[in-house]
Amino acid sequence: EPVTLKLSFFASDTEVNYARAIKPWIDAVNADPSGAVKIEAFPNGALGKALPAQPQLLLDGVADIAFVNPSLGPGRFPDDQVFELPGLLQNLKEGVKLYEELLKANLLRGYSDYYVVGAFMNPQYMVFARRPIKSLADLKGMKVRINGAVIGQTVKELGMVPVLMPPNEVVEAMGRGTIDATTTVPAAIVDFGIDRVTSHDYLLPLGAGPLAVLMNRKKFESLPKPAQDVIAKYSIRWIDDTYIRDLGQYNDELIAKFKADPKRTVVAPSPADLASLQPVYQKVTAEWVAKGPGNAELLSKARELLTRIRAN
């Protein structure tokens, strides 16, 4: 008799994180020859539509496993802002590895109540606008939707006007000219239909954001050994590699598609613009370091780990 676990996904089952990483994980666990675990999936927000509420939903026992965006709970997962620092990460793969290593070393607060099934990292946030952007100078004065404090600070330094807004309001706000641009990842552009209202993509790297599949730790520890083993077997390595492979590829495909689309312009910052970004990135990073007592140590540890990850 397998143990049944409820998995909550806040959005549609066609959303890319679900379709390309979580669903394959569910299928793999359910198909495991041990037959020890059966994951019952509740996508489409059937167990809760609010993404910020997912971590609490696990603690309340409404779901056993859930997809979580730690950036949305800046108090609950206070150290995760480190990934948002502009210029720290270069690609999705090293972001995932860094997240894994920091979790393994127990350097990120807020995870003690959870068993980490998957530790993903968004690709770099970039700027998607309804008005043309050819260079950094064009950003000045643009009203841009932001999704985090650090990224807000960065765009402010670049002369943009940050407007806090959940992703589901972006299309409406952009379509009606309430905002001119949004910072986000290519996948979200498609998932939330933002491609309808933007046509200018500026590949400005603005930091990344962690995403996680978490399980209630008490629930995990209460499971019989064979069930724990199945979960562990597909956790972190299996699901993260699936994510890196499929989401990395998907992200590259999307950018290629945007470039090929005659209705879109895709611009990468010039070397000169990239150089002039450095002082801005350093300033934002220094401000973040000054904000919390443990931030300096966390950042230096993260840089050390990154050096090692890049060397491999």
Binding interface with another protein (CB under 8 A): 6, 42, 44, 46-50, 53, 55-57, 59-62, 73-76, 78, 141, 143, 148-149, 152, 161, 163-165, 168-169, 171-173, 175-178, 196-197
Between 106 and 312, name the residue whose CB sits nearer to another protein.
106
240's tokens: 């993260």
Residue in the block written with tokens 């990934």: 83
Minimum distance from CB of 271 to another protein (Å)?
Answer: 29
Minimum distance from CB of 152 to another protein (Å)?
Answer: 6
Minimum distance from CB of 14 to another protein (Å)?
Answer: 12
Minimum distance from CB of 133 to another protein (Å)?
Answer: 17
Minimum distance from CB of 246 to another protein (Å)?
Answer: 26
Close Cβ partners of 148 (under 8 Å, ≥ 6 residues apart)? 71, 74, 81, 84, 209
Longest dimension (CA), the chain: 63
β-pair type (265-267, 200-202):
parallel
Between 163 and 239, name the residue whose CB sits nearer to another protein.
163
β partners of residue 265 = 200
Between 149 and 203, name the residue whose CB sits nearer to another protein.
149
| C-alpha 80, offset from chain centre | 11
Of 207, 211, 200, 231, which is closest to residue 73 (Cα–Cα)? 211
| C-alpha 300, offset from chain centre | 22
Between 147 and 251, name the residue whose CB sits nearer to another protein.
147
Between 241 and 261, name the residue whose CB sits nearer to another protein.
261
β-pair type (37-42, 161-164):
unpaired
